[in-house]
Amino acid sequence: MIDHTRELDTALSARWRELHPLPPGETEVLAYDLTDVLFFGVTCPLAEVGRNPDHQARPQVNVGVVVSRHDRMPMLHFSYHGNRNGSATTRNLLVELQKAG
């Protein structure tokens, strides 16, 4: 199976910005948030025991979202294995943002 997540995110965010342009002279400012989601099933390949605020030793998936500061529109999202910490997800964030344009 081919993952088209990045292409879809890029196309959707470009279309959003086309329909809802930034005010003249304003530069796009992005915010990044990483959230852990506890997983209670048995078949998710991304679910791994990781660190979470409640210190529960349960499988989880990490979801990262890049949001526009101007209109709070999600522009990109990322899914990570549950045992990956926050600093590890930000290392490649700039590379991913450059790829997305």
Whole-structure pTM value:
0.80
Handedness of CA 99, 10, 32, 21 (dihedral sign): positive
On whether residue 12 sits in a domain, the answer given is: yes
On whether residue 56 sits in a domain, the answer given is: yes
Q: Based on the structure, what is the number of domains in the chain?
A: 1
**Res. 13: pLDDT tops 90:** yes
pLDDT tens-digit profile of 86-101? 888 888 788 878 777 6
Q: How far apart are CA 28 and CA 32, in angstroms?
A: 13
Domain ranges, residue 53 = 5-20+30-100
On whether residue 80 sits in a domain, the answer given is: yes
On whether residue 25 sits in a domain, the answer given is: no
Mean local confidence (pLDDT), 13-31: 95
